[in-house]
Amino acid sequence: MVTFGQTYANGLRRRRPRPGGKWHLDEVFFRINGELKYLWRAVDADGTALDNLVQNRRDTAAARRFLCRLLKRTGAVPRVVVTDKLRSYDAAHREVMPSVEHRSHKGLNNRAENSHQPTRQSERAMKGFRSTGGAQRFLAAFSGIPPHFRARRHLMTAHDCRAEMTVRFAVWDQVTGVAGRPAEA
């Protein structure tokens, strides 16, 4: 994952459609070597992870840094931003993107809350992260690759799911460079 993971994740990210107009922002804490760290995450309305950022703090400056990075990486401005009740989002939102509607409500942000589950599962399997940089590198790659192979099966027929997975594997072959190689006998 360290050698090629980020390259593959970047290739998949470039092929993704533009993010939706509603972004859900959330943060979750975890420990690295006994120190409390915060994982800031943005997800669009379809559940696609837009960005991850591991930081030491959960204040306005950290929220501002995350919002600026998010706007720069996506190259898009959302129609609506949905957050939990953390007041740091409100202050950072007023500075970074004042023209965007901001909804702050405990129950509206379940899309972002659920997006933390795969991260928690991989963290548990790895028995925790060893460093902040290692966590950032892993999460940057991990948030792009596994969802590519998880079709939203419950929303489509079996025939459509097979066709979608065929397309996704063809894209994967292009991203990894396997598509141009001759087949081995």
Supply the mean pLDDT for the chain: 80
- Checking if the pLDDT of 139 tops 80, the result is no
- Structural tokens at position 53: 């950022």
pLDDT digits (tens, 9 = 90+) for 7-32: 777 776 777 767 778 888 888 888 88
More confident residue, 107 or 82: 82
CA 54 and chain centroid, separation: 12
Same domain, 139 and 169: no
pLDDT given at position 12: 67
Residue type, 131: S
Same domain, 176 and 123: no
Q: What residues make up the domain containing 161?
A: 152-185
**Number of structural domains, the chain?**
2
DSSP per-residue codes, 85-149: S-HHHHHHHHHH-TTSEEEE-TTTTHHHHHHTHHHHHHHHHTTS-S-HHHHHHHHHHHTTSGGGG
Same domain, 132 and 145: yes
Same domain, 65 and 125: yes
Same domain, 157 and 67: no
Same domain, 110 and 170: no
What b/e readout covers 142-151, taking b as 16+ CB neighbours within 10 angstroms?
Answer: bbbbebbeeb
- Checking if the pLDDT of 1 tops 80, the result is no
Q: At what angle do helices 117-125 and 132-142 cross, to 10 degrees?
A: 120
Distance CA 33, CA 143 (A): 23
pLDDT given at position 116: 62
